[in-house]
Amino acid sequence: MAIYAYALIGLIVGILARIALPPTRTVGFVGSALLGGVGGIIGALLSSIFAPVGITSGIHPVGVVVAIIVSALVSIGVIVGTRNRHFA
């Protein structure tokens, strides 16, 4: 059940990234939130490497920190990456 909490953390980070960065046409508000949620889940799974004792069965501080970092990197990376594309 903790994986849902990590996804919620990622959704919040994705929404904050969308608010903090200027808007783009390719990634909307919902897309940014979903990217953050996916980043939160990936971050929680990656954090099981650092703290392998039940990281996905309960909320762990290492998992929260890694979920926030990964979801921010995914959200900001996709938003900035799509803004820098030049269409011919």
- The answer to whether residue 52 is domain-embedded is yes
- The answer to whether residue 77 is domain-embedded is yes
- The answer to whether residue 86 is domain-embedded is no
- The answer to whether residue 87 is domain-embedded is no
- Residue 19 structural domain: 2-81
Look at the chain and report how many structural domains it folds into: 1
Kindly report, residue by residue over 52-67, the tens digit of the pLDDT: 665 556 777 888 888 8
Exposure string of 39-58, with b = 16+ CB inside 10 Å and e = fewer, is: bbbbbbbebbeeeeeebbee
Kindly report, residue by residue over 6-52, the tens digit of the pLDDT: 889 989 988 888 888 776 666 777 888 888 889 888 888 888 787 76
